[in-house]
Amino acid sequence: MLSKSQISFIKSLHQKKFRKENGLFIIEGIKATTEFLGSAYRLHSIYHTGNLPAELKGTDTNIKLFEVKQTDLQRISTLQTPQGILALVHIPEEQAFDPGSLRQRFTLALDGVQDPGNLGTIIRTADWFGFSTLICSPNTVEAFNPKTVQATMGSLARVRIHYADLPELIAAAGVPVFGALLNGEDIYRTKWGNEGLVVLGNEGQGISPAVQAHITTPVTIPRRGGAESLNVAISAAIFCSELCRS
């Protein structure tokens, strides 16, 4: 049984402002809860309607467990169909980021991606292809948005998301910068070398001029049909696939 104030506290976390204020975000479903429990994130509390799986029982006495009514779960859930379990997770403190860690590898960087579902799908895809870090410009949608978290399907627990001023980070990292643009070289003929940032832009506007100025290799996925553009998560996936092609 949840009190009115507990319910309104958890509901407040549907909004970015209160997530930031309280340093907490919401995850839902057994899979996400299990994956976050086994990750570097710290869980704050778990709300479930009973039938808690064994692996979630008694794992950590610092995590408060609440058995709640289905109607209460519906109130606190961000989903139309709640999945029987919801947890609050601490937003990790921003760690110092070493730009040198971008050398000798490839890393995706997002410049102003706005759709939370797109960001979530990109995190899931990056995780599949083994990219452990994702760089986001400050105006990219928040990674702890419930729609983003849901679309990652648990991958948020494994991929480090670092928000940074892209021009500054690029200057500090000193690696080649590939940019997804409409007038670049053919992605299938690009010589990638062994390191670099791969920048994808905003859904409508693409890569901002300030970041475009730093691109060393503009790259294009050749168009054969009539669509004007590709969804940004689709472009990101094709870049990941090309970088991982053996």
**Applying CB under 8 A, which of residues 154, 176, 196, 206 lies at the interface with a second copy?**
154
Contact between 246 and a second copy per CB under 8 A: yes
* CA 177 from centre of chain: 21
**Applying CB under 8 A, which of residues 102, 158, 176, 197 lies at the interface with a second copy?**
158
Contact between 228 and a second copy per CB under 8 A: yes
- CB-count exposure of residue 109 (10 Å: 0-12, 13-18, 19+): buried
Residue 22 vs 190, nearer CB to a second copy: 190
Residue 195 vs 242, nearer CB to a second copy: 242
Contact between 192 and a second copy per CB under 8 A: no
Contact between 224 and a second copy per CB under 8 A: yes
Contact between 63 and a second copy per CB under 8 A: no
Contact between 226 and a second copy per CB under 8 A: yes
Contact 50, 72 (CB under 8 A): no
In the numeric block, the tokens 């990750």 are attached to 39
Q: Which residues contact 4 (CB under 8 A, 6 or more apart)?
A: none
Contact between 129 and a second copy per CB under 8 A: yes
b/e for 76-101, b at 16 or more Cβ within 10 A? bbbeeebbbbbbbbebeeeeebeeee
Contact between 15 and a second copy per CB under 8 A: no
How does strand 43-48 pair with strand 85-90? antiparallel
Q: Return residues touching a second copy (CB under 8 A).
A: 117, 121, 124-132, 151, 153-155, 158, 186, 188, 221-231, 233-234, 237-238, 241-242, 244-246
